[in-house]
Amino acid sequence: MGILVALLVLSVLIFFHELGHFTAARFFGVQIDVFSIGFGKRIWTKKIGKTEWSLSAIPLGGYVKMKGQDDTDPTKISYDRDSYNTKKPWQRIVILLAGPFANFLMAFLLYLAIAYMGVPKLLAYVGQVTKDTPAYQAGLKKEDKILQINGVNIKYWEEIGKQINASKGKITLVIERNRHLK
């Protein structure tokens, strides 16, 4: 499962990177022949306008193939008006830098979104309880919900440590187990 999530996150990063190149190239009038996420055998392809959108078998990269940009066969290099090769050097630099810029922009926007929404608070449910720990010795079990510590109501996980550290001596817990108070 972790590998699939990592590949999904990587594919999203690659998509936005390549979208940066794509957007800048289209802004300067360059025709895009192929926009692909991944390498190798194509799994899915759809032609929209003059651009072929593709998902390929190995999702560890991607590319935007612009008209006139063919390093493997010099006879296929195009000097048409909508070709990458006819653009001014500063325009080509902008097109090349637009990919990394899109990644920085995405990171900045995600940071703003997280800062705006805040980090969700975890409820006071017990996860794994191992032997030789205070939780095990207190009789806590996985999925117990801690409701009170020494008479103080507990709503979020971070409050547990604060209440335990503030306690002197014996600690009294009120927990909910299988929807019953203990």
Q: Distance (Å, rounded) from C-alpha 19 to C-alpha 11?
A: 12
Annotation says 176 is catalytic: no
Q: Distance (Å, rounded) from C-alpha 125 to C-alpha 144?
A: 6
- List, in sequence order, every residue forming a beta bridge with 37; answer none if it has no partner: 55, 62
Active-site hit among 18, 52, 158, 176: 18
- Look at residue 92 and give its three-state secondary structure: helix
Cβ-based neighbours of 156, under 8 Å, separated by 6 or more: 121, 122, 123, 124
Residues noted as catalytic? 18
